[in-house]
Amino acid sequence: MPMEEVAAREARHLKNIRQVTFGFAKAGEGYFSPDGRSIIFQAAEWPEPSTLQPPPEGWDSYQIYLSELTPGAVPVMVSTGKGKCTCAFFHPDGKSILFASSHLDPALRDGSAQADRPKAPAYSRSERYAWDFDPYMDLFRLELDALGGVFRNGGTAEDGRPELGRSVAPETLVRLTDAEGYDAEGSYSPDGKQIVFTSFRDGDADIYVMDADGSHVRQITNAPGYDGGPFFSPDGSKLIYRSDRGQNDLLQIFINTLDGQNERQLTDNEHVNWGPYFHPDGRHIVYSTSEHGHYNYEVYLMDVETGKKERITFYPGFDGLPVFSPDGSKLMWTSKGRTSDNTSQLFIADFVLDPPSADAAEAP
């Protein structure tokens, strides 16, 4: 597709597209702060160049970073710099964040940044899309007051890489889960009183809800196959998530009530559909799909009441993990094809909610 046509098609919903992370080896899965002025995301820094030895094992494992959305803002690492991290999320009051980390892995007690062990079991048997279910991954809370406002300092390094502030001391984090197995992919309810997350504590990847302090854990899904990436609806009454319910390496999107009794499948095709996220109106979601190829994931908008969907990104390469700002005026997502250095980075656009029409839904 000619780039002029790409731009014209994306302009239906996306205005003023701009890159917001720079200098990382990879960055992605970002979320807005409640006031929409900052973002939290996962990223990996480039290793220090060396002609004497290869980069250390696990150098590209994600850590968590916080940054304001202002020119010259410098991302600051808010995780420990050890182990692996994923899926950060702001508390609705903006005073704390939630994320998953494996920094308590016993293999890291010697001071190593990464554990020297075989790769953890992954979701997919295909190398085209996969992620680890690290058994030492747990959920943690960080009070942002502990940072002392350091992320508000501006400036960049001379080589163009971000001048990253400092890692967080492990004792600063509050551990919220300690069950055996993977606990991650967590997010808060709109009132901040509950957390929904994915856990392997029963031997299968299911969705659980617990109180924000880690107490009163209750299971929501209990079907064979992976259920993950859950988020609350804006009114807190529903959950949306991805599932390999068919156990065929094809993720589908599901919506359910908070008691787990009214599950409804929203996608049913021969593709990978994942990363669903609610628009603040509670009726529309965005998600990404491999419908156009496993090296060309694209973002779609769906009306969950009618099932109508519409493609909203058209750029060659990966576009995924889309999320809305709290007021719905902006969309942020992870993109690889748009970057000049072919790295995954975060992009933001002003978003126009034009509900999917019959004609738009059929657009290729």
Other Cβ atoms closer than 10 A to 120: 16
pLDDT of residue 110: 62
CA atoms within 13 A on the CB side of 239: 31
Cβ atoms 18, 348 nearer than 8 A: yes
Cβ atoms 62, 27 nearer than 8 A: no
pLDDT of residue 162: 44
- Alpha-carbon span 4 to 317, nearest angstrom: 16
Q: List C-alpha distances in Å: 304 to 11, 219, 263, 350.
A: 23, 24, 13, 22
Other Cβ atoms closer than 10 A to 280: 16
Options 3.40.50.720, 2.120.10.30, 2.60.40.10, 3.30.9.10; which CATH number does 3-361 get?
A: 2.120.10.30
Per run of 10 residues, the mean pLDDT along the chain (length 364 residues) is 92 97 96 97 85 65 95 91 96 97 87 55 45 90 78 42 61 95 98 98 95 98 95 98 89 96 96 97 98 93 97 96 98 94 96 74 50
Residue 276 one-letter amino acid: P
DSSP class of residue 55? P
pLDDT of residue 288: 98
- Alpha-carbon span 173 to 71, nearest angstrom: 29
Cβ atoms 322, 299 nearer than 8 A: yes
pLDDT of residue 112: 60
Cβ atoms 84, 102 nearer than 8 A: yes
Cβ-in-10-Å burial (0-12, 13-18, 19+) of 350 comes to middle
pLDDT of residue 55: 60
Q: Are strands 345-351 and 284-289 parallel, antiparallel or unpaired?
A: unpaired
Q: Please give the model's pTM, rounded to 2 decimal places.
A: 0.90
- Alpha-carbon span 333 to 315, nearest angstrom: 13
- Smallest CA-to-CA distance from 230 within 249, 210, 247, 201 is with 210
